[in-house]
């Protein structure tokens, strides 16, 4: 077992070395099988991998289990990461069947895909440590230099949304750190290191034993839409479509709204 793994790694090294900087040829050879079962009662089987935004980790894991239970013989594996990283991986030929992005922008970056559907939206909320030690009351506290403020970097969706809110309200935020993703910003608050951060409502709910959420009216200025789409290079397009349908179904909506997502 170990030897085989080691050999595979060695082969990969050799291949990488020999291939040099050649173009990436996606190994996905569209298999002709399993395309005839599109008519009534399609017998779903096989595996798909779903690339989904990090903020969907909890809900999509749950949806994947539900989907597998409803369709015995199927297996859904997930790759959760920042939407922009996922879009790049897909364009570089990563074997993905479905992409769920936290922003339309990242969905647009992916070239070979079906028609995206917006399935949820997410609103910003102020996250403060349990008990709100710094007495944060609203967005204006983000301009206070004496408070430890954490935002997402503008390069990632939650940072772009925060930027939009501050521009719309004319508040000049005084952040101490611009975090690389929303979970990192949340961690700084849940550890009590930051007095406040701007994160999504769903993130506050996911950490509700450590952080408190404060809603603010200006959040409506920057609502984030989440699109989902099947990818045309999928080897199992029927299963990919079935999974997307499952996410859009009432069952899927129930799971997503329980986690704090709003209907699109």
The first and second tokens of residue 143, run together, are 């301009």
Q: How far is CA 144 from the centre of its chain?
A: 31
Comparison of 105 and 253: residue with beta carbon closer to other proteins = 105
Q: Strands across the sheet with 124-129, in order? A: 177-179, 149-152, 196-200, 124-129, 211-214
Please check if 200 is assigned to a binding site.
Answer: yes
Comparison of 188 and 201: residue with beta carbon closer to other proteins = 188
The first and second tokens of residue 73, run together, are 């013989």
Please check if 55 is assigned to a binding site.
Answer: yes
Q: How far is the CB of 128 from other proteins (least distance, A)?
A: 14
Q: How far is the CB of 177 from other proteins (least distance, A)?
A: 3
Q: Which of 60, 48, 50, 52 is nearest to 247 (CA)?
A: 60
In the complex, the residues that contact other proteins under the rule CB under 8 A are 13-14, 16-17, 20-21, 82, 84-85, 88, 148, 150, 153, 155-156, 175-180, 184, 187-188, 191-193
Q: How far is the CB of 57 from other proteins (least distance, A)?
A: 16
Q: How far is the CB of 180 from other proteins (least distance, A)?
A: 6
Comparison of 185 and 240: residue with beta carbon closer to other proteins = 185
The first and second tokens of residue 191, run together, are 């550890």
Comparison of 125 and 179: residue with beta carbon closer to other proteins = 179
Comparison of 176 and 225: residue with beta carbon closer to other proteins = 176
Please check if 226 is assigned to a binding site.
Answer: no
Pairing of strands 196-200, 177-179: unpaired
- Calpha distance 87→83 (Å, rounded): 6
Going by C-beta distance under 8 Å and a sequence separation of 6 or more, which residues neighbour residue 264?
A: 118, 119, 120, 121, 225, 226
Please check if 83 is assigned to a binding site.
Answer: yes
Q: How far is the CB of 168 from other proteins (least distance, A)?
A: 21
Annotated binding site: 55, 83, 182, 200
């Amino acid at each position: 077992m170990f030897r085989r793994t080691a050999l595979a790694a060695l082969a990969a090294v050799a291949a990488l070395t020999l291939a040099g900087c050649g173009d990436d040829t996606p190994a996905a050879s569209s298999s002709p099988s399993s395309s005839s079962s599109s008519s009534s009662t399609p017998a779903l089987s096989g595996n798909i991998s779903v690339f989904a935004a990090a903020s969907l980790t909890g809900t999509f894991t749950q949806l994947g289990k539900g989907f597998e239970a409803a369709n015995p013989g199927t297996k859904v594996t997930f790759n959760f990461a920042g939407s922009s990283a996922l879009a790049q991986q897909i364009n570089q030929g990563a074997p993905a069947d479905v992409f769920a992005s936290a922003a339309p922008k990242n969905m647009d970056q992916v070239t070979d895909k079906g028609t995206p559907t917006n399935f949820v939206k997410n609103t910003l909320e102020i996250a403060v440590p349990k008990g709100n030690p710094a007495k944060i009351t609203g967005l204006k506290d983000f301009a206070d230099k004496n408070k430890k403020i954490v935002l997402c970097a503008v390069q990632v969706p939650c940072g772009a949304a925060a930027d939009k809110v501050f521009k719309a309200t004319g508040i000049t935020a005084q952040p101490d750190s611009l975090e690389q993703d929303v979970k990192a910003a949340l961690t700084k608050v849940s550890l009590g290191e930051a007095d406040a951060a701007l994160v999504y409502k769903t993130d506050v709910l996911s950490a509700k034993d450590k952080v408190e959420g404060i809603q603010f009216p200006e959040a409506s200025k920057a609502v984030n839409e989440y699109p989902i789409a099947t990818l045309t290079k999928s080897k199992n397009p029927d299963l990919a479509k079935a999974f997307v349908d499952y996410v859009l179904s009432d069952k899927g909506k129930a799971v997503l709204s329980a986690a704090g997502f709003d209907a699109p």
